[in-house]
Structure 1
Amino acid sequence: MFEVYAPASVGNFAVGFDALGAALAPIDGQLLGDVVAVQSATQDEFICSGEYAHKLPADPLENLAYQCLVHFREHVAPNMAAVRLELKKNLPIGSGLGSSACSVVATFAALDKFADTQLSQVELIELMADFEAKVSGGRHYDNITPCYLGGLQLTGDLIPNKSLSLPVCEQWYYVVAFPGFTLNTAKARAVLPESLSMHDSVEFAQRLSAFISLLHTQQFDAALSIMEDRVAEPHRARLIEGFAQAKQALPELGAKVMSISGAGPTLFAVCTDLTTAQQCADWLAANYINDQGFCHICQLDTLGTRVLEKEA
């Protein structure tokens, strides 16, 4: 038996709508993501457990991880031995932290290892994107690829191998706060404009390309100064109770960036020192999250999806 862990992620990353994503690792060593446990069995068996398992459909046929298992057996590895697959659902649904991507990525990575199919990076990413689309309504890679590969990823169909890893400042801290209520991804996409004006399209292209160039030339302060979401945030902010207050308070505490993680309602702030990050986390704990929410100070998870080592 082995367990595969897939980390939470921040989609869009402010400047990269549907194109940038960052994997998260809480600095206190906690695992913020889903785990899939796999072992041999006499017949295929599926179990859903974990803190948020009760938020998923009771019928396995409606569970993404089980659907991944069925598809993998039918289309990828028909001769695979029978397996007992357990999804440990540790991320809240509709949180904006790539919850569905975590389940899909962990499941396919675990099955690829179990069956020794040795799928390529592109093959796995494409397979993962197909199933994440069942929830998000489209083949968006900005949670899939950082969850799978780790780090900050520029991703999409035009990118070689579907993803390109970007350098970031090691002194950046990411404060992520899930308020304790959810936001349906389809609803969050429905409020977006169907098209952008020529001016807005050019500005988006300039902001994203400049941000990437500044990262590659290690001009990290300049990169932070243009890290702003003018595509999705203006439309989604009104859907998230408390977001406007946080948008005002966190920069006053020293946060360099504050925006929505993915489709929301989780928000994230980028800080350049741990003291500021802790001050932002304290404010969010007191003013943004309820008793069902959580807040973590993170840095990038550079490992991505991996097999968890067994304790001695």
Structure 2
Amino acid sequence: MIEVYAPASIGNFTVGFDSLGAALAPIDGSLLGDVVTICEAPRDEFICSGEYAHKLPSDANENLAYQCLVHFRTHVAPNMPAVKLELKKNLPIGSGLGSSACSVVAAFAALDKFAQTNLSQVELIELMADFEGLVSGGRHYDNITPCYLGGLQLTGDLIPNKSIALPVDENWYYVAAFPGFSLNTAKARSVLPKELSMHAGVEFAQRLSAFSSLLLTSRFDEALCIMQDNIAEPHRAPLINGFDQAKLSLPELGAEVVSISGAGPTLFSVCKTLEAAEQCAQWLEENYINEQGFCHICKLDNDGTRQLNVL
């Protein structure tokens, strides 16, 4: 049996709408992401388990991980033996943590390992983006690529090999808080402006390029100073109950940045010390999340998608 884990991710990462994403690793050692197991079987079998399995369609044909299996057998490895594939759905749907990307990335990575097809990085990323796009409404790489490769990734069609890894300050902590309610990705995209003014477009280009350049030259404090989302956050914030108050309160506790993870409703903050991260996490647990929510203090997951077990 092959067991593959794919981590949660922060899409957009404030300055990089649809083009910058970061994989997350809770500092307590827990796995924040989905797991796919695969083994040979008499006939193809699909199981969906895990804490959030009940939130997915009961019909396997409507499950992204099963659709990945069908596509892989038809178009990539027609001679692959029958398999039992299980998706352990550990991330909430519509959380802003790259939940659909986790399922797709873990499924294709497990299938590639099992069938020993040895697809290239670009081939796998393209496959993953195709299927994640079925949920998000378009081929966006900012969850797929960090989930697969780990770290902070600048990603897109114009970038060689679809991705460039960016360094970050190793002292940074990322506090990710899922409030306990879902936000439909399509709805979160529908509130965005259809066009940007020339001024807004130029400012976005300057901010993303400056941020990337500052990271690449280890000017991390300067990079933090320009982490601001003027593209999506102003339009999505009204959809997320409690976000505005968190945006005001967390900087007083030491947060350097507070923004929306992906399409939301998860928010994340960047802190320069563990003490500040712990204070922010405590505030979020008391004021932002309900009994279905959770909050994690994280570092970046630099390993990305990986094999956990071979039995």
Q: Name the TM-score class by shorter chain.
A: over 0.9
Helix, strand or coil at the partner of 1:97: coil
Matches within 5 A, 1:75-154: 75-154=75-154
- How many corresponding residue pairs? 311
Helix, strand or coil at the partner of 1:14: coil
Per-residue CA shift, 1:245-286, capped at 9, x if unaligned?
000000111100000000000000000000000000000000
Q: Please, what TM-score do these two structures have when normalized by structure 1?
A: 0.99
Distance apart, 1:2 and its partner CA: 1.7
Query: How many Å separate the matches in 2 of 1:309 and 1:280?
Result: 35
Corresponding residue of 2:171: 171
Query: How many Å separate the matches in 1 of 2:72 and 2:206?
Result: 40
Matches within 5 A, 1:240-279: 240-279=240-279
Are the equivalent residues in 1 in contact too, given 2:4–2:309 (CA < 8 A)?
no
Corresponding residue of 2:26: 26
Distance apart, 1:309 and its partner CA: 3.9
Query: How many Å separate the matches in 1 of 2:34 and 2:8?
Result: 8
Check if 1:48 corresponds to 2:48: yes
Gaps in structure 1 of 5+ consecutive residues? none
Q: Which amino acid aligns with 1:59?
A: D
Helix, strand or coil at the partner of 1:112: helix
Query: How many Å separate the matches in 2 of 1:92 and 1:188?
Result: 16
Question: CA distance change for structure 1 residues 244 and 36 in 2, over 3 Å: closer, same or farther?
Answer: same
Query: How many Å separate the matches in 2 of 1:309 and 1:50?
Result: 18
Check if 1:58 corresponds to 2:58: yes
Corresponding residue of 2:221: 221
Distance apart, 1:150 and its partner CA: 0.1
Distance apart, 1:45 and its partner CA: 0.5
Helix, strand or coil at the partner of 2:250: helix
Distance apart, 1:310 and its partner CA: 6.5
Q: Which amino acid aligns with 2:259?
A: S
Gaps in structure 2 of 5+ consecutive residues? none
Corresponding residue of 1:236: 236
Q: Which amino acid aligns with 1:11?
A: G
RMSD across aligned C-alpha pairs, in angstroms?
Answer: 0.8
Query: How many Å separate the matches in 2 of 1:199 and 1:219?
Result: 26
Q: Which amino acid aligns with 2:87?
A: L
Helix, strand or coil at the partner of 2:246: helix
Query: How many Å separate the matches in 2 of 1:184 and 1:153?
Result: 24
Q: Which amino acid aligns with 2:252?
A: E
Helix, strand or coil at the partner of 2:37: strand
Distance apart, 1:75 and its partner CA: 0.5
Q: Which amino acid aligns with 1:113?
A: K
Corresponding residue of 2:69: 69
Query: How many Å separate the matches in 2 of 1:73 and 1:247?
Result: 46
Query: How many Å separate the matches in 2 of 1:216 and 1:129?
Result: 26
